[in-house]
Amino acid sequence: MSYDLRNLIEQAHADNEKYKKKLEEEPENQYGLLEAFKLIFWSSSKEVNIKASDNSRISKKYRKNIYSTLNIDDNKLENFSKMLTASPQMLEVFSTLNDLGNIFEEVIVSLYSKKETLEELGIPNLDKLKNLFEKLLSIKTTVSEIMHQLLLDYQNNKNGINTDINKLGSHAKIIYNQILVKEIEAYELQREIFSIYN
């Protein structure tokens, strides 16, 4: 059992590392999302806005979370930029993707750092931990699939979302609600995982 869980943790860690490398190799146009990332910002205590497109630590972490959670081919990311710049509701979607990315990374980093001591948990806790971690990873897959479908809907102008900003906004609200449910589930799984092994 610990071998299966260790393998799962190592695969998730390798995937996480892939997105760190993607960020290191990030082109100047930020995989086509530069214009969208310029619209996303945080205010610091110095009254200076930090944009997601900046080279600050928080900006880079945000972009990595987005790339990782979307898990979409680089050449398709530019369409997300078009959607984000066209519809303010997409900002909520991206904010939730970032939150999910934080949850996934925190769990993966924590489990990976302790993978050599899994046997100490005992079989019942190993089983529970494996099931919880698999559920968390399936949420990541589900969210990525939801975003893939949104991209296809946008490209195919389903229900006019590519040509009508209001329809895109309504569609983005539906997507946001779906992903928000997944974020709540992921947060609960993170809490349960950490209660067993943190």
Q: Which of 39-53, 134-148, 150-164, 169-183 has the lowest mean pLDDT?
A: 39-53
Please name which of 21, 38, 20 lies closest in space to residue 29, comparing C-alpha atoms. 38
Matching residue, tokens 């930029």 = 81
93 and 125 Cβ atoms separated by less than 8 Å: no
Share of the chain above pLDDT 70, in %: 96
CA distances (Å), origin 183, targets 76, 99, 103, 179: 24, 7, 9, 6
| Tens of pLDDT, residues 5-28 | 999 999 999 999 999 999 999 999
Look at residue 41 and tell me whether its pLDDT is greater than 90. no
Tell me the mean pLDDT in the region 169-196.
Answer: 95
What pLDDT was estimated at residue 75?
A: 85
Find tokens 């993707």 and name the residue: 97
Spell 152-177 as b/e; 16+ CB within 10 A means b.
ebbeeeeeebbeeeebbeebbeebbe
Domains located in the chain, CATH noted: 2-196 (1.10.3160.10)
pLDDT value at position 87? 86
Residue 81: CB partners within 8 Å, gap ≥ 6?
32, 33, 34, 35, 36
Q: How far apart are CA 150 and CA 153, in angstroms?
A: 5
Element (H, E) at 21: helix 2-24
Rounded mean pLDDT of the chain?
A: 91
Is residue 177 predicted with pLDDT exceeding 70? yes
* DSSP 8-state symbol, 51: E
Could you write out the DSSP letters of every residue in 141-154? HHHHHHHHHHHHHH
Q: How do residues 111-164 score in pLDDT, each as one tens digit? A: 999 988 888 888 898 999 999 999 999 999 999 999 999 999 999 999 999 999
- Angle at which helices 89-113 and 165-196 cross, to 10°: 20
